[in-house]
Amino acid sequence: MTVSDRDVRQAIIDACIQMNELGINQGTSGNISCRHGEGMLISPTSTPYDTLQPEDIVFMGWDGAVDGRLPPSSEWRFHLDIMKARPEVNAVVHAHPTYCTTIAIMGRKIPAIHYMVAVAGGSDIRCAPYATFGTAELSAHAVEALRDRKACLLAQHGMIAVGSSLAQAMWLAVEVETLARQYHGALQIGEPPILSDEEIENVIKRMASYGLRDKEAAA
């Protein structure tokens, strides 16, 4: 294991632990991957994050071949398919944050209730249709929901955030959960007003350099 390889593996472990500390995930329901060499590194299935060692992080080639002492996350398929479909994506964060999942249970997207929706790449954060976890069907839905976007919800499941780095994807996951919480709160009063597509395009242009810088990324 090279130093850089170990660093990426440790960064995945640290991010998994951080997901729970930030309250955007519970138990071992979330999973994280990073592009690495001719494939990706991904957290293993059903293993408490605080017990993970760098050697427990699983390498998976683009052909699906696995190299690891533990099985990969049950959601490995959409991690792999997203990275294969999106060369600019270097990290994928999947979690079950309370407010994102609540909105996703209702099959709702997050519309442009706030200009920060633009950080996910468009005028809304789509909700992919439901499919059983770990299936090719769910993966196809996720890849489509992420088309020209950096985040999506998964109906009756959770959310996905992607980024050019692990730090970027983690930052976005927190932002999306914040938006879901705001949307949930607004719905308690009524249907919220929505910003126009034109305004969101204006915001996207103005925010071209907004957010966490890649140089701050851990992986």
Residues 6+ positions from 19 with CB-CB distance below 8 Å: 25, 30, 32, 49, 93, 95, 170, 173
State the pLDDT at residue 210.
Answer: 59
State the pLDDT at residue 116.
Answer: 96
Identity (one letter) of the amino acid at 29? S
Task: Please identify every residue annotated as catalytic.
Answer: 75
Q: Is the pTM of this model over 0.85?
A: yes
Q: What is the DSSP letter of 1?
A: -
* Whole-number Å distance between alpha carbons of 137 and 129: 10
Walk along the chain (219 residues) and give the pLDDT tens digit of each residue: 565 899 999 999 999 999 999 999 999 999 999 999 999 999 999 999 999 999 999 999 999 999 999 999 999 999 999 999 999 999 999 999 999 999 999 999 999 999 999 999 999 999 999 999 999 999 999 999 999 999 999 999 999 999 999 999 999 999 999 999 999 999 999 999 999 999 999 999 998 765 555 444 433
Q: Where are the domains of the chain?
A: 5-208
**Nearest CA-CA partner of 30 in 74, 78, 96, 81:** 96
Q: Provide the 3-class DSSP secondary structure of residue 93.
A: strand
Give residue 154's Cα distance to chain centre. 11
Q: Provide the 3-class DSSP secondary structure of residue 21.
A: helix
115 and 203 Cβ atoms separated by less than 8 Å? yes
Q: Provide the 3-class DSSP secondary structure of residue 76.
A: helix
CATH of domain 5-208: 3.40.225.10
